[in-house]
Amino acid sequence: MLLGVNIDHVATLRNARGGVEPSPILAADFCEKSGATSITTHLREDRRHIKDEDVYTLIKTIKTKLNLEMAMADDIQKIALEVKPYSICLVPEKRMEVTTEGGLDVAGQLEKVTEFIKPLLDAGIVVSLFIDPTEEQVKASAKTGATFIEMHTGAYSEAFGTDREEEEFMKLKNSAKLAQSLGLTVNAGHGLNYENVSRMHEIDGLYELNIGHSIISRAVFTGLAEAVTKMRDLIK
């Protein structure tokens, strides 16, 4: 499996003081040098952490791949078409949420999602859909033209170590198998940490994990290079 590192919360810390430190640009460089195979940023509509200028700088400086998380917003789509990251991941977005809550309801807005991602696909950008691990959402995703899905691992992460763990894990495993049978490449992420990530090895064909909060949290104590290297070693 590959490791994509989300650097949003480096920007969150920077914005707490309104200055320039710590730099998410420098953080991306540290992550890449420590084994990250892609850098993920979420350009939210309220710009609460990553700013437009961060995205425009990152596309010029990173040496791996830029994965831009985004909602179905016209202004963000415009930026994506200008910047042309390697990939975008379409996510749901609510103004009052602390972090992304739940997957994108592709099945409930199939036509809208399909129309929104078409210009991105036409521009040569890889499109991934962040969805809950259900049969309905996987099958709908396969109809949109997207070539990737990212399974929302939040329910599994919360259930880890409880009597619900196996049930939530099997949802991921079964959804990944179905997605691959439909021609989709499968990523996963949300809430994964140094303890619960180990079971991702049990999901055949999982391509990349996108992990941010736990890596940045560990980096506070151990440094960013060690935190990325440790996670990379766990998912090899």
Q: Distance between CA 169 and CA 157 in Å, rounded?
A: 9
From 87, 78, 122, 129, select the one nearest 108 (Cα to Cα): 129
Residues 6 or more apart whose Cβ sits within 8 Å of residue 159? 165, 167, 168, 169
Neighbours of 101 (CB within 10 A): 13
42 is catalytic: yes
Beta bridge mates, 40: 6, 67
152 is catalytic: no
69 is catalytic: yes
Report CA dihedral (135, 73, 48, 126) to the nearest 10 degrees.
60
Catalytic residue among 9, 49, 152, 190: 190
Cα→Cα distances 145→63, 67, 217, Å? 27, 18, 36
Catalytic residue among 32, 69, 168, 208: 69
Q: Phi and psi (nearest 5°) for 175?
A: -65, -40
Catalytic residue among 9, 42, 49, 152: 42
* Identity of the residue numbered 216: I
For 115, the token pair is 């129309």
Q: Distance between CA 83 and CA 74 in Å, rounded?
A: 14
Q: Which residues does the annotation mark as catalytic?
A: 42, 69, 190
